[in-house]
Amino acid sequence: MSDAPIIQIKNVSKLYGGTVKAVDGVDLEVARGEFFALLGPSGCGKTTLLRMLAGFEVPTGGQVIIGGQDMSNVAPNKRPVNMVFQSYAVFPHMSVEQNVGYGLKMERRPAKEIKERVAEALDLVKLGHLAKRMPDEMSGGQRQRVALARALVKRPKVLLLDEPLSALDAKLREAMQLELVRLQKTVGITFVIVTHDQSEALSMANRIAVMAQGKVQQVAPPAELYEMPANRFVADFIGKINMIEGDAVAAGDGEVRVTAQPIGEVTLKGTATGKVALAVRPEKIFVDEKEPTDPALIKVKGKVGEVAYFGSYSNVFFDIGLGQPLQADISNLSRDIEEYTFRAGEDYWIYWRKSDTLVLGD
């Protein structure tokens, strides 16, 4: 049974006030030992879903199974999961040691075992030297480690993390991302993290479920999510993307023929038909003064508009005669400033590979 999913969410819904669907018929499976992310904009139902795993919300419909056991009638304090809260929820009147030991005390473990396991957990999060500290004498990052140690010391089957990095400053957040990945590998516990920050999800998780309006839009590993988004929402939500509206008809053989201004007619791999968007990521776009000739490329003429310089690359907006500009991330590949300077009004050929183009339905 060890390769059965540790979490099974079967057609779970949550209605608030009988009408508002916070979570709408979600089916998900999380494998043992996975680092799984629930990603979505605020109000998409990801936190509600996490709270249903922890037992703080009761599903209106459907079933939550953890470790093969139906959780319908299991109270939060009896579930084999532990949670790291957004505010860390470190008990202010208890020392670090007491905080971490609290869960074991509730299990009525002998004092000796508690002491050993607390020390072990604190070492794991590199807080061994601060065991006697009170929470108000600690930084936000340290308090977060206390919260992590306190949850991990219980050796849960699943660790739930609710926006764990949102209260940290940018630098600390990056460090904590790496740390969480390291920690997850060390303890081998399944992590389920809720976040609205796509870079956080992409950099940490093995698999990501993108949610919007209570529904799961796509479940995939990070690279697949970025390069093969299932629909417009996912493509738009993850990273930057250019979309050119067009009409598609099936051309057989897994291909569609798309007509779009100002590109004209082009045959691409894809299945969506009718109103579609041709989508291409800005970093997959090239520019040149000369017209490219390769038939495997899609090309348009454009005028330079706004330019934002970021050091390693420039984000250049080209006017291609559509309502919204086409943006390209041009890497600054040499120290030749002149070559990589774009001036407003200059004409360029903008092109990208057909194979880098997505045909997205709604």
Partner 1 sequence: MSIFRRNPDPIGPLDYARRFWLRAFVAVTLFFLYAPIVGLMAFSFNDSRRNVVWRGFTTDYYVKFWNNDSLMLAFANSLTIAFMTTVVSTILGALTAYVLWRYRFPGKAVYEGGMALPIVIPEICMGVAMMVFFARIGWPTGLPWPINLGAITIAHIAFAFPFAAIVIRARLESFNRELSECARDLGASEYRVFRDVVVPHMKPGLIAGALLAFTLSLDDFVITFFTAGPDTVTFPVKIYSMVRFSVTPEVNAASTILILLTLIVTAVALWVQNRNNMIGKSAH
Residues engaged in binding partner 1 (CB under 8 A): 54, 56, 75-78, 81-83, 85-87, 89-93, 102-103, 106-107, 134-136, 143, 150-151, 154
Longest dimension (CA), the chain: 77
Nearer to partner 1 among residue 91 and residue 309 (C-beta)? 91
Nearer to partner 1, 156 or 246 (CB): 156
Note whether 211 and 40 are within 8 A (CB): yes
Query: What would the two tokens of residue 86 be?
Result: 């957004």
> Nearer Cβ to partner 1, position 81 or 241?
81
Instruction: State the minimum distance, in angstroms, from the CB of residue 75 to partner 1.
Output: 8
CB of 92 to partner 1, least distance (A): 4
Question: What's the sign of the alpha-carbon dihedral 290, 291, 297, 301?
Answer: positive
Closer residue to partner 1 in complex, CB, 76/292: 76
Output the six-digit token pair for 211.
Answer: 């949610």
Q: Position 128: which residue type?
A: G
Q: Are 126 and 182 in contact (CB under 8 A)?
A: no
Q: Give the nearest distance from C-beta 106 to partner 1 in angstroms.
A: 4
Residue by residue, DSSP assigns 113-144 as HHHHHHHHHHHHTT-GGGTT--GGGS-HHHHH
Asked if residue 90 lies in contact with residue 112, where contact means CB atoms within 8 angstroms, the answer is no
Is the CB of 80 or the CB of 128 nearer to partner 1? 80
> Rounded CA gap, 53 and 11, in Å?
14
- Closest to 25 measured CA to CA, from 15, 37, 13, 36: 13
Which is nearer to partner 1, 142 or 198 (by Cβ)? 142
Residue 229 CB, nearest distance to partner 1 (Å)?
33
Q: Answer for the pair 97, 132: CB distance below 8 angstroms, yes or no.
A: yes
Please state the closest distance from residue 130 (CB atom) to partner 1, in A.
14
Question: Closer CB to partner 1, residue 135 or residue 282?
Answer: 135
Angstrom distances, CA of residue 83 to CA of 110, 140, 183, 262, 307: 23, 17, 15, 51, 44
The distance of closest approach from Cβ of residue 134 to partner 1 in the complex, given in angstroms and rounded to an integer, is 7
> Min. distance of Cβ 27 from partner 1 in angstroms?
25
Give the closest residue to 292 by CA, choosing from 342, 351, 347, 346: 351
